[in-house]
Amino acid sequence: MKRLILPFLFIAAAFACSNAQGGFAFGIKGGPTIGIQQWEGFEQDPLFKYHGIVFIESITEGNAFGIFAQLGYHQKGSAIRNRNFLNISGQAFRPPAREFIFENLSLTGGAKQKFPFGSGDSKAYYALGVRLDYTVNTNLDVYTRFIEANPAYAIYPIDDTKFIREINYGLTLGGGIEIPFSELVGTLIEFTVNPDFSYQYEQPEIPNVLDPYTGNTRSIPQRRIRNLTFELTVGFRFLRKVEYID
């Protein structure tokens, strides 16, 4: 049932946009994503992935303002690169890059303010939206063996649904350019910053973990992870105009 929440909300928002008096625009867009996460006590490297989005937007007279709804697939997370660790013998080694991926469906609703740009009907715009994310999958299970073999050094998030938050929320802020090819077809280029307000992963402190190297027990500290992404997006935009005749 939860997996139907975002598509249902998108359909409702799309219906509202499609009934706008001036008509509506719709399309598909996507591009690269840079994911950033701050792990408490452990600095992370960026994750380079991608996203894809379908959208719909209302059109006002002069195309100066619009409300929009969009539903997208986004790979968020972080990575570890070029870090040295110590093995059991105390020797330093450098493992291959490790990626920590959270696959999210994102529903965003918001508004765009537009301005003339260059010649013709091209528009520059800035946009602000409220975003709701649903986590459909992660790749944390690939690190389960490492954590089991190194319980005292569980620096990686644990593949446990108690710690992985399914529903997250945040903002989408950005701007871009709309360039028409013809009266009803055009393209767009945009850049957005997408901070989460909620934690994607929240693990409490885990006490009394046996250190296999010393034979002593220790506590694994609390870990809370919040997503931040930067996205460059290109796409196609199609218009459907509504004209009223008295």
The domain containing residue 135 runs over which residues? 2-241
Q: H/E element holding 11?
A: helix 5-18
Collapsing DSSP to helix, strand or coil, 3 comes out as: helix
The DSSP call for residue 21 is: T
Asked whether residue 109 carries a pLDDT value surpassing 80, the answer given is: yes
Q: What is the DSSP letter of 88?
A: T
Residue 193 has pLDDT above 80, yes or no: yes
Work out the mean pLDDT of the chain and round it to a whole number. Answer: 84
Look at residue 74 in the predicted model and tell me its pLDDT.
Answer: 98
Q: In this structure, is residue 63 part of a structural domain?
A: yes
The DSSP secondary structure of 134-175, one letter per residue, reads EEEEESGGGGHHHHHH-GGG--SPP--TTTB-SEEEEEEEEE
Is the pLDDT at 80 greater than 80, yes or no? yes
Residue 246 included in any domain: no
Does the structure show a pLDDT above 80 at 8?
Answer: no
Q: How far apart are CA 19 and CA 8, in angstroms?
A: 17
The pTM of the full predicted model, rounded to 2 decimals, is 0.83
Q: Give the max Cα distance, the chain.
A: 86
Question: Is 62 inside a domain boundary?
Answer: yes
Number of domains in the chain: 1
For 38-90, list the strands marked E by DSSP: 47-58, 65-80, 85-86
The answer, yes or no, to whether residue 229 has pLDDT greater than 90, is yes
| Structure token digits, residue 94 | 């450098």
In the predicted structure, residue 45 carries a pLDDT above the cut 80: yes
In the predicted model, is pLDDT for residue 144 greater than 90?
Answer: no
Q: Are 76 and 102 in contact (CB under 8 A)?
A: yes
Mean pLDDT of 91-102: 79
| pLDDT score, position 83 | 64
What pLDDT, on a 0 to 100 scale, did the predictor assign at position 145? 75
pLDDT for the residue numbered 14: 59
Distance of CA 196 to the CA centre of its chain: 9
Q: Name which of 155, 140, 151, 132 is nearest 72 in CA terms.
A: 132
User: What type of residue sits at position 126?
Assistant: Y
- The strand pairing partners of 236, in sequence order, are 28, 187
Residue scoring higher pLDDT (237 or 218): 237
Cβ atoms of 139 and 101 within 8 Å: the answer is: yes
> At residue 175, what is the residue type?
G
Q: Which of 11-15, 37-41, 94-98, 136-140 has the lowest mean pLDDT?
A: 11-15
Contacts 24+ apart (CB under 8 A), 137-145: 137/103, 138/100, 138/101, 138/102, 138/103, 138/164, 139/99, 139/100, 139/101, 140/100, 140/164, 143/98, 143/100
Provide the CATH number for the domain around residue 132: 2.40.160.20
